[in-house]
Amino acid sequence: MDATAREISFCGHTVAILEEMVVPDTHLDPRFVTNPFVTDAPFIRSYAGVPLIVDPDLPVGTLCVLDTKPRDFAGSDLRALQVLANQVTSQLRADRMMWATKDTLTGVSSRDAAVKWLAHQSTANTRAAIYLDLDGFKEINDRYTHEAGDRVLATVAERLVAAVGDGHMVARLGGDEFVVLLQDVSEADLARTVARVRQNVDQPITCRHSEIPCTASFGAPRSRCPGRPVTT
C-alpha cells in the first residue's frame, strides 16, 4: 500500500495510543467499518500494529500486518511483531546517532564529532590539525549557483579523505571550513600531509560542463604535549 492520509489510516490510531492495536474484524469495529480501505480495495478485514518509538513518546511510524479476512491474532503473532519493531527502532536509533556525527551534505564528520574525537584522543602523544577554508566560495555560489557550491564542498571532502587515509578524521566545521585531525604525527609527517592535502584540494572541479577553480587557505597547528588539546 502507498502512504495514506492520516484521517483514514489504521496506523494513525496505533500512533495515537502509543501501544499495540489489534482489529480482528473491521466490519465489527465502528472506527473502521466505513473506512474506504475496508469498503473498497484492498478490503482490509483485520489489522495488528505496534508503534515504532525511537524516543519516549516520539513515535516515527508503525510496523503492522493486514489481512483480507477476519483474523484473531495469537499472542505469538504479536510477540513476533514486537520483536521486529524493536529491531527496526534499534536500527533507527543507530542511524540517527551516526548521522548526528556526520555532515549531511558531504558525508564527512561533523563539527561535534571532531570535538568528541579530540576528547577521545586526548592521551595521544602528538596531534595536529590542518584547518582550511575555501577561497572565494561566496563567489562560486553567486556565479555558478548553490548547487555547484554544494558540489564543490562534497568534492573537497572526498579529496581530503583520499589525502589523509585511515586513522585520522576529516570534518566539516561549517560553511566552507574543514579540518583534518591527525594523531601521532611528526613535523615531517605533518608537512608531507599538508602538501598532499593542498595538492588534492587545489584542483579545478567540473560541474555541469563548467570548470570551477578550487583553492584553499591552510593552517596547521601541532600539539606536542600529551593530554593537551590542539590550539590555534
pLDDT at position 168 is 84
Q: Give residue 10's identity as a one-letter amino acid code.
A: F
Enter the pTM of the model. 0.55
pLDDT at position 106 is 92
Q: How large is the average pLDDT for residues 105-121?
A: 83
Q: Which CATH number fits domain 6-100: 3.40.50.10490, 3.30.450.40, 3.90.550.10, 1.10.20.60?
A: 3.30.450.40
Q: How large is the average pLDDT for residues 34-41?
A: 93
Q: How large is the average pLDDT for residues 172-182?
A: 92
Delimiting residues of CATH 3.30.450.40 domain(s) in the chain: 6-100
pLDDT of 153 > 70? The answer is: yes
pLDDT at position 124 is 46
pLDDT at position 1 is 54
Position with higher pLDDT, 95 vs 217: 217
Q: Three cell numbers at 23?
A: 482489529
- CATH annotation of 111-223: 3.30.70.270
Q: How far apart are CA 133 and CA 160, in angstroms?
A: 12
Delimiting residues of CATH 3.30.70.270 domain(s) in the chain: 111-223
pLDDT of 28 > 90? The answer is: yes
Q: How far apart are CA 55 and CA 126, in angstroms?
A: 39
**CA neighbor of 52 nearest in space, from 23, 5, 24, 90:** 90
* Residue 64 binned pLDDT confidence (cut-offs 50, 70, 90): very high
pLDDT at position 155 is 95
Q: How large is the average pLDDT for residues 55-83?
A: 88
On the 0-12 / 13-18 / 19+ scale of CB atoms within 10 A, 166 is: exposed
Cell 499472542 found at:
75
Among 9-13, 42-46, 208-212, the range of highest mean pLDDT:
42-46
On the 0-12 / 13-18 / 19+ scale of CB atoms within 10 A, 54 is: middle
Q: How large is the average pLDDT for residues 15-40?
A: 92
